[in-house]
Structure 1
Amino acid sequence: MTILKPSETATLERAADAPMLAQVERWAAVNSGTGNLAGLKTVAGLLADAFSALPGTVRLVAPDPVESIDAAGRVQTIERGAHLHLRVRPEAPVQLLLTGHMDTVFAADHPFQSLKWLEPGVLNGPGTADMKGGIAVILAALSALEASPLAERVGYDVMINSDEETGSHASAALIAELARGKTAALTYEPALPDGTLAGARPGSGNFSVLIHGRSAHAGRNPEDGRNALVAAADLALRLNALKSPDLKVNPAKIDGGGPNNVVPDQAILRVNMRPMTPDAMAAAEAALRDAIAAIQRDHDVHCHLYGGFNRPPKPLDAAATRLFELVRDCGAALGLSIGWNATGGVCDGNNIAACGIPVVDTMGPRGGAIHSSDEFLIVDSLAERAQLSALTLMKIAERGTV
């Protein structure tokens, strides 16, 4: 069993004493749904003020432009909020990346806007677990690290983005830039209520297939038409048939159609694909393009494909496994039993792992029912997970590696 050093004990006490609950309550009281630019601006300002207590430089980074296809088939540019970036000691021998997100899935007009206690120690509220609680843990752990004798050995970048819940399209380039050359990364999605971490993750891609047919009178000359809606339905069935143990496929929506007496000349199929491995991702993309080619041939329509795999699969390689084992051992030193399981969800940890950097992406507090109005945070786990992070950071700084 690992025996904690006096310097480690002092650092861990400092981490546990941070005012995390008050921070979560303040930050979660401000709606920061991904599309609520005013709310995101307010939260970004609050976070910038909070993280300015650490050494280094805090800046707000403009989001990259994001394109989407609307229901009429037009390419639209979506505006996202700014991302927060803190850089500390870039010259230090050990360099780490810590990431979180300030956005939630709850829009400004969503009914779930307030906080309440479900029972003593269990706080219900939008973003309490996912992931304003995680952001508070990042700040507590780093504040404690700065008082440690090991602080000068480690530098770090903290990135809190504004669009994780919609796929990090406006922040993917920033994530890749900051991940470059790092020893390891920690991301602060919530752990499960029992403390289990997410291990391997699949990838995820969202696609829109715009199908152009030919309109005609449904009664007088339907044979002259090319029904884009039927072509979209056929494509949905073909893609659904690609499902396998290595690939999940969800044809989610078809936009298109019109009056009953007109052959529809345009439709848009929306589909999500989740491959388990890089090979499965490559095969899925090839199968998608083959299916589109077959639809064009069989229905005499024209198709345009938009979107892509924005979250690559995250397998557990040797370096990632060593980092998980380090977190497990740090947990054991704190009296915590840390395990991990593969999950079907995706997050910024996928993007970081794709850069070749080992990452544990559920270092946040314990909580559950995320993405629903039943979302809850187990408050005692704020101190627990701040100590786990602080000890993990110190061990990496001491070793110089994972």
Structure 2
Amino acid sequence: MTALSRIEEQAVARASASPMLARTRAWAAVNSGTGNIAGLDAMAGMLADAFAALPGTVRLIEPAAAERVAADGTVAAVAHGQHLHVSVRPDAARRLLLTGHMDTVYPADHPFQTLTDRADGTINGPGVADMKGGLAVMLAALEAVEAARCPIGYDVIINSDEETGSFSSAALIAEAARGKLAALTYEPALPDGTLAGARGGTGNFSIVVRGRAAHAGRNPQDGRNAIVAAAALALALDAAKGPRLSVNPARIDGGGPNNVVPDLAVLRVNFRPADADEIARARTTIDTAVAAVAAAHDVRIDVHGTFNRPPKPIDAGAARLFDLVRQVGGDLDLPIAWRDTGGVCDGNNIAAAGTPVIDTMGVRGGAIHSADEFLIVESLAERAALSAVTILRLAENGL
């Protein structure tokens, strides 16, 4: 650490001394799968207590309405947990957004519920990397920045539904992102510290196909087979995939007894567009394929879904933010590199609001979304230092 100011050195020491590991253990011990509302309520309360150490207003925000298409084609509201919003110095000249999520992909009945310390300096446990360790890093960095009497303002949003698309928190995040100098999101970096650069977008659709039931032996000609129509639609959509648009027809729900022509099917399909032009192409593909299949099979088709994560390019503002983080990393003897990825997160939505963002400022770890998920313990201190110094330099010099 050869180029740090005295204030920065003190912030690094303060951040590194934070009880991040203890916090991570305590938070990871609480199951907060996206659908576990009781667990999310407990998690939100713990986070609200912890983030109350910051000199701002801490609020728990009710989730916006969201819905889901069931296997029987009905559309129903889906419950989500509360979201945490912390606002510090809202009138400051320079303001940042820091985001993370409290939910995990492990439901309350998942067998992966415990933490295991490994001899290689890692911890295996649900959410330790994605992203309860990242939340501990965020808080440690902000506490160090506050100890330095830094005048920067910021909002913190920790949502409860990131793992399922942030449908009940997207508007909250978009509003918080507007007008901010930059944003930092605490998804995990790769085990070697590599950050996510540009990201493609994603869209998830449930397409309900309604045909007509009939006896499969006596009068099949009177039926309209929804399963066959859904399969034809899946093939038509799949044909649109290319180097910059991934299309994944993932599931068809529906059908019944072998002697009944099925009158209902629900096709689930995921799109991964590389840019806005591919979103437009995908939308046209959906509209064209739906019209053609509906006409050819004499069925009714209703499309539910949206492109909920826009692509995240590295524009000029994001490039400057990456350069700043790389410089800070160099001063901390932490090599910083990044690469494009096909994954998505709330960073996509923040970038779409026009705010430069780095969305992998969390711990180093890996095997996320599996029972092998792990956190590299030594990365807690290094990543908290990286965030603290980055925030101090944004406060001093802007972007």
Normalised by the shorter chain, which TM-score bucket?
Answer: over 0.9
Give the equivalent residue in structure 1 for 2:21: 21
Deviates more, 1:99-108 or 1:237-246: 237-246
2:233 maps to amino acid: L
SS of 1:207's equivalent? strand
Structure 2 unaligned regions, length at least 5: none
User: Distance between the aligned counterparts of 1:265 and 1:10, measured in 2?
Assistant: 68
**CA deviation map 1:279-335 (0-9, x unaligned):** 111111111111111111111111000011110111111111110111111000000
2:389 maps to amino acid: L
1:61 maps to amino acid: I
**CA deviation map 1:172-207 (0-9, x unaligned):** 010011001100000000000000000010101100
Give the equivalent residue in structure 2 for 1:85: 85
**CA deviation map 1:72-104 (0-9, x unaligned):** 111111110000010000111101000000000
Q: Does 1:337 align with 2:335?
A: yes
User: Distance between the aligned counterparts of 1:25 and 1:369, measured in 2?
Assistant: 18
User: Distance between the aligned counterparts of 1:216 and 1:86, measured in 2?
Assistant: 57
2:139 maps to amino acid: L
Give the equivalent residue in structure 2 for 1:3: 3
User: Distance between the aligned counterparts of 1:265 and 1:272, measured in 2?
Assistant: 23
Give the equivalent residue in structure 2 for 1:269: 267
SS of 2:243's equivalent? coil
**CA deviation map 1:190-228 (0-9, x unaligned):** 000000000010101100110111111111111111111
User: Distance between the aligned counterparts of 2:67 and 2:95, measured in 1?
Assistant: 33
User: Distance between the aligned counterparts of 1:6 and 1:187, measured in 2?
Assistant: 26
Give the equivalent residue in structure 2 for 1:207: 205
User: Distance between the aligned counterparts of 1:43 and 1:208, measured in 2?
Assistant: 30
1:378-397 alignment, distance < 5 Å: 378-397=376-395
Give the equivalent residue in structure 2 for 1:45: 45
User: Distance between the aligned counterparts of 1:208 and 1:125, measured in 2?
Assistant: 32
User: Distance between the aligned counterparts of 2:170 and 2:302, measured in 1?
Assistant: 24
2:83 maps to amino acid: H
**CA deviation map 1:124-183 (0-9, x unaligned):** 00000000000000100000000114x11x100000000000000010010011001100
SS of 2:341's equivalent? coil
SS of 2:214's equivalent? coil
SS of 2:155's equivalent? strand
User: Distance between the aligned counterparts of 2:210 and 2:38, measured in 1?
Assistant: 38
2:327 maps to amino acid: D
Q: Does 1:360 align with 2:346?
A: no
User: Distance between the aligned counterparts of 2:292 and 2:328, measured in 1?
Assistant: 54
SS of 1:199's equivalent? strand
Q: Does 1:64 align with 2:64?
A: yes
> How far apart are residue 118 of structure 1 and its match?
2.0
User: Distance between the aligned counterparts of 2:277 and 2:120, measured in 1?
Assistant: 47
> How far apart are residue 262 of structure 1 and its match?
1.1
Which of the residues 253, 257, 278 maps onto 1:255?
253
Give the equivalent residue in structure 1 for 2:236: 238
**CA deviation map 1:324-378 (0-9, x unaligned):** 1111110000001100000110000001001011000000010000000000000
Give the equivalent residue in structure 2 for 1:377: 375
User: Distance between the aligned counterparts of 1:2 and 1:312, measured in 2?
Assistant: 39
SS of 1:119's equivalent? coil
SS of 2:260's equivalent? coil
User: Distance between the aligned counterparts of 2:117 and 2:147, measured in 1?
Assistant: 33
- Point out 4+ residue stretches in structure 1 off by more than 6 angstroms: none
> How far apart are residue 120 of structure 1 and its match?
4.3
Give the equivalent residue in structure 2 for 1:308: 306
1:251 maps to amino acid: P
Give the equivalent residue in structure 1 for 2:145: 145
User: Distance between the aligned counterparts of 1:17 and 1:102, measured in 2?
Assistant: 23
